[in-house]
Amino acid sequence: MDKVKVVVGLGSCGIAAGAGKVYQRLLEINEAEGGLFELGKTSCIGMCYKEPLVEVTDGTGTYLYGEINDKRAEEIIEKHVKNNQVVTELVEYSDKIGGKEQDFVDNQVKIVLRNCGKMDPESIDEYEKRDGYKSIKKILENNISEDDVIKTVLDSGIRGRGGGGFPTGMKWKFARGYKSDEKYVICNADEGDPGAFMDRSVLEGDPHSVIEGMIIAAYAINATGGVIYCRAEYPLAVKRLNLALEQARKRNYLGKNILGKEGFNFDLYVKEGAGAFVCGEETALIASVEGKRGMPNKRPPFPAEAGLWGKPTNINNVETYANIAWIILHGAADYAKYGTEKSKGTKVFALAGKIRNSGLVEVPMGITINDIIFKLGGGIKEGKKFKAVQMGGPSGGCIPAELGDTIVDYDSVNATGAIMGSGGMVVMDETTCMVDVARFFLNFTQKESCGKCTFCRIGTKRMLEILERITEGKGEEGDIEKLQELAAQIKDSSLCGLGQTAPNPVLTTIKYFRHEYEAHIKDRKCPAKSCKQLITYMINEKCIGCTVCARVCPTKAISGERKQPHLIDQDRCIKCGACYDACKFSSIDKL
């Protein structure tokens, strides 16, 4: 019988949750037991909420164990590996016995994430075993022409996953159309949306699939060189990419006369960003690759005509490239089976915020927001009420719970005023203040504006000031209209997508949560009880005088005798909420 396989999820999330220590412990056990099992590594499995994760594969099936610590790791080895007793209560998912998280797994369709969490991302052999590099071989061995490759991509209906949703095949066709002795392909791995981690997971979990997608693009447009522009905040992704590139070069997937194809020369390197959101915008990204300040440029000319070093350039997102090899291997029709009329295939979403199952999911386009949040996401944490979901990050907007039946495809999401974006979904509950969320995003875009366009630079600042005033309880009659007016002007007079979309978080929250703005301005109240300056803490009659609140108060604003009801001095109270959190008898009200 084969040895039992024990695999630890070592993506960034897993490592942060302590998977490195678990791996170390398993290594020790295995040494002590003389190599009882085969110990392996993989990357993000998607269940960030159950990290650290360990998967055991024995003769009967696979068993994914969650929330593993040293003790549980020992238990699993002792019971499952040694004595064939599955530790049922710790199984999150198993292809044999289901498990607690069966819904999370069964409702997904994995194309982009086909290898994530299923193989060692640092091994090219494992990638090849899972159909890796078969697509580029298929193209070269069967002499499939550049135009036919582009036609397959066009027919699949795939649209850019970086946010804009431009048809990928069309983009390739344009880039192919411009003649030049030098051409480039670029992978946008800047993942700017704060709260999204799809691209990171793909780069850490399956770097070769992105590289293969880029090689196919290079073949189709006759590119001579390529760059992966990765944010510096993702050191593990950069490391694994560089390793994968080295392996791919050794096997001649990159380099000169690739796989024996005369004249097909192409190589790639990784360029790290340096922390500027605007560098996700394609023209700014190109400026940054050239070693300059990342300022956007006017389009046209589009990169397809004059991009990197002024040469024709094709630029796509990580997830877009990660789809390509699958499409070439399985055919356009298989891909187009999934999705809606105008949005084909699957989409990866990063679920975060007040959702129970935060993690990574891949679903067919056309599924509803409610299905994602409740069927896959397990609903809202702590039994609270679902209020809104933020999609598209700083360029997107908040979709309210009432529109939970909206299906996810480019057009339906756009119709709400939000955008599909790159796939970040930050879920909010009744305790999240929507005015504060709008302020949060404006603060972000205002800081990240490169400063080139006056309206984007100064207009966002004025909007931010108004929003700050409102959340501090100093809002004025007419502020909402002022915000709307400024928003329209900024959208109209900004050069790049940053300014053109920066007002979206404000506009969507005004559209769906106008009453919250009005409550702040007119009644000086924050309905979500989140804006500090607008809440009052009061002690009610349930107080038994335990003195805990008086002890935790940093400003000594609470007084009272032991066993007597206490009192908060409102002038001294700084509204830090320490008493509220500390009270065990619900005797402090937040009003």
Partner 1 sequence: MSCREKQQQIKETVSKICAEFNNDPNELIAILHKTQGHYGFLPKEVQIAVAESVGVPASKVFGIVTFYSYFTMEPKGKHPVSICMGTACYVQGAEKVLREFESRLEVKNGQTTDDGKFSINTLRCIGACGLAPVVMIGDKVYGNVKPEEVNNIINEYS
Which stretches of the chain bind ligand FES, using CB under 6 A? Answer: 194-195
Q: Does 445 bind partner 1 (CB under 8 A)?
A: no
Q: How many Cβ atoms are within 10 Å of 591's Cβ, its own excluded?
A: 9
Q: Give the 3-state secondary structure of residue 31.
A: helix
Q: Which of 496, 531, 535, 557 binds ligand FMN (CB under 6 A)?
A: 496
- Whose CA is closest to 547, among 539, 538, 559, 555? 559
CB 206 within 8 A of CB 334: no
Q: Which of 194, 301, 404, 560 binds partner 1 (CB under 8 A)?
A: 194
Torsion of CA 460, 465, 470, 475, to 10 degrees: -110
- By C-beta, is 448 or 479 nearer to ligand FES? 448
Residue 274 interaction partner, one of ligand FES, ligand FMN, partner 1, none, beta carbon < 5-8 Å per kind: partner 1
- By C-beta, is 192 or 475 nearer to ligand FES? 192
CB 108 within 8 A of CB 362: yes
Runs of H (alpha helix) within 259-417: 282-289, 318-330, 332-336, 369-370, 410-415
Per-residue contact string for residues 394-433; x = within reach of partner 1 by CB under 8 A: ------------------------------x-x-x---x-
Q: Which of 101, 190, 409, 516 binds ligand FMN (CB under 6 A)?
A: 190
Sign of the dihedral defined by the CA atoms of residues 578, 584, 589, 590, in that order: positive
Q: Give backbone dihedrals phi and psi of 347, rounded to 5 degrees, phi first.
A: -140, 140
Q: Does 497 bind ligand FMN (CB under 6 A)?
A: yes
Residue 49 interaction partner, one of partner 1, ligand FMN, ligand FES, none, beta carbon < 5-8 Å per kind: partner 1
Instruction: With contacts defined by CB under 8 A, name the span among 12-20, 95-103, 110-118, 491-499 that binds partner 1.
Output: 12-20
Strands in 365-437 per DSSP E: 386-391, 397-400, 424-429
Q: Which of 135, 188, 343, 358 binds partner 1 (CB under 8 A)?
A: 358
Residue 273 interaction partner, one of ligand FES, ligand FMN, partner 1, none, beta carbon < 5-8 Å per kind: partner 1
Residue with tokens 């300040």: 293
Q: Which of 29, 315, 327, 352 binds ligand FMN (CB under 6 A)?
A: 315
Give the N- to C-terminal CA distance of the chain in Å, as an integer: 66
Helices and strands per DSSP (H, E), number in the chain: 25, 18
Q: Which of 22, 29, 45, 48 binds partner 1 (CB under 8 A)?
A: 48
Report the nearest approach of ligand FES to the CB of residue 194 (Å): 5
Binding residues for partner 1 restricted to 104-133, rule: CB under 8 A: none
- Three-class secondary structure assignment of 207-260: HHHHHHHHHHHHHHHCCCEEEEEECCCCHHHHHHHHHHHHHHHHCCCCECCHHH
Q: Does 164 bind ligand FMN (CB under 6 A)?
A: yes
What burial letters (b/e) apply to 177-194, b meaning 16+ CB within 10 Å? ebebeebbbbbbbbbbbb
Q: Which of 42, 283, 288, 445 binds partner 1 (CB under 8 A)?
A: 288
Residue 51 interaction partner, one of ligand FMN, partner 1, ligand FES, none, beta carbon < 5-8 Å per kind: partner 1
Residue 326 interaction partner, one of partner 1, ligand FMN, ligand FES, none, beta carbon < 5-8 Å per kind: none
- Cis omega (within 30 of 0) on the bond before 52? yes
Per-residue contact string for residues 408-427; x = within reach of ligand FMN by CB under 6 A: --------------x-----
Count of residues of this chain found to bind partner 1 when the rule CB under 8 A is applied? 54
Residue 275 interaction partner, one of partner 1, ligand FMN, ligand FES, none, beta carbon < 5-8 Å per kind: partner 1
Report the nearest approach of ligand FMN to the CB of residue 7 (Å): 30
Per-residue contact string for residues 49-68; x = within reach of partner 1 by CB under 8 A: x-x-----------------
Q: Which of 302, 374, 440, 580 binds partner 1 (CB under 8 A)?
A: 440
Torsion of CA 215, 218, 222, 226, to 10 degrees: -110
DSSP assignments along 104-139, one per residue? HHHT---STTSSTTTS-TT-HHHHHHTTTTHHHHHH
Residue 163 interaction partner, one of ligand FES, partner 1, ligand FMN, none, beta carbon < 5-8 Å per kind: ligand FMN
Q: Rounded CA gap, 180 and 311, in Å?
A: 7
Report the nearest approach of partner 1 to the CB of residue 226 (Å): 16
Torsion of CA 54, 58, 63, 65, to 10 degrees: -30
Supply the DSSP symbol for 313.
E
Q: Which of 55, 191, 204, 436 binds ligand FMN (CB under 6 A)?
A: 191
Q: Which residue ranges make up the site for ligand FMN (CB under 6 A)?
A: 160-164, 166, 188, 190-192, 278, 280-282, 315-317, 320, 422, 496-498
